[in-house]
Amino acid sequence: MSELTLQAKELDAADALAPVRSRFLLDDVVYLDGNSLGALPAHVPDRIADVVRREWGELRIRSWQESGWWTAPERIGDRIAPLVGAAPGQVVVGDSTSVNVFKAVVAAARMAGEDRTEILVDAGTFPTDGYIAESAARLTGHTLRAVTTAEVPDALGPRTAAVLLNHVDYRTGRLHDLPSLTAAIHAAGALAVWDLCHSAGALPVGLDAHGVDLAVGCTYKYLNGGPGSPAFLYVRRELQPRFDSPLPGWNSHAEPFGMKPSYDPAPGAVRGRVGTPDILSMLSLEAALEVWEGVGIDAVRAKSLALTDFFLSCVAHHAGDRVESVTPAAHGERGSQVSLRCENAGDVMKRLIEAGVVGDFRPPDVLRFGFTPLYTSFAEAERAARVLGAVLG
């Protein structure tokens, strides 16, 4: 047994989160793509079977009330809230991340005031965020300016209405400084909108503590909600009375069944809803979130950093200078993934997957490995690095 293999065994034996792994359906594959799609919690299939057969099959329309379908967006939002550092009543679940980004950016631009005519967006953002921000700017008559995260403080000014930023860079895994950037945005009189897709469920966010105005995030990555599971929208409590959604659907009406021709928004985070919820995927997400019972986000973060530290040391041993890490070494700048640059990265990832190590590839030359502390072991981290070394020759 090699020294690294022995070290992995010792780390797994001391891991307080190791028992949580049994809450998931896993196999012998080393699954390091939870930053794209989380693994399936073991109890979800039976829960969804009950929803389909009993709640839909037997109760039918009665389930909107008797099974709690109608209140699911807020109820599940309150379950996600502690994982992103939010008090109850500020998170609503529904629609996709893209749709929620649109709601948040347009609403922020409207709330900022008529004298603020510019929206800033992270130049390295996930492409859809950029597309949505551009459309939102056209819709509201604002100009859009793309800047790097480092340039944000100097780019802020009296014309800035809103700033859309990613908490973690999806390619490199770099963690951006949400507290200081939010403070700088507020000092300039603008609103901060954060995309939490690569941080929710992986590390503490502190939305309330840092005064974030609006935030969005997906639930199929580190929250393990399943493919296409609905996203969430956070609206800070103090802003809720002024939140002016560009998509005022009947579900967010103060009297949704009043069928009035004029729109009167409901109070609270409910006004972030639009139309009929995707009940099957939403209840799948609700069931998936049960794996978090007894698990604290700080413990998840501690294991995440230990896992990625260990993986990087294993990569250095097995792969040497044949790969280059583009993920920051500093803990304060690292999310829960490791991105490695190498030649022929697309082919390398294909061969890794064939060898039972699943990550993903981002053009032109980046291998991404996402570490989900709820089910990833140290032994898997060592095995992944060892297979990578073998694939690289």
Burial 266-301 (b: 16+ CB within 10 A, else e): bebbbbbbbeebbbebbbbbbbbbebbeebebeebb
Q: Crossing angle for the helix pair 97-112 and 127-140, nearest 10 degrees?
A: 40
From 126, 170, 222, 310, the catalytic residue: 126
For residue 147, what is the enclosing H or E element? strand 143-147
Which of the following is catalytic: 271, 368, 383, 386? 368
Indicate which residue of 21, 103, 110, 221 is catalytic. Answer: 221
Active site residue 126: yes
State yes or no: is 54 an active-site residue.
no
User: Is 33 tagged catalytic?
Assistant: no
220 is catalytic: yes
Q: Alpha-carbon distance 390 to 150, whole Å?
A: 37
Q: Is 260 a catalytic residue?
A: no
The DSSP bridge pattern shows strands 337-341 and 366-370 to be antiparallel
Active-site choice (31, 220, 243, 378): 220
Contacts 24+ apart (CB under 8 A), 69-74: 69/277, 69/279, 69/283, 72/277, 72/279, 72/282, 72/283, 72/286, 73/230, 73/251, 73/270, 73/273, 73/277, 73/282, 74/269, 74/270
> Among residues 15, 78, 169, 195, which one is catalytic?
195
Task: Please identify every residue annotated as catalytic.
Answer: 126, 195, 220-221, 368
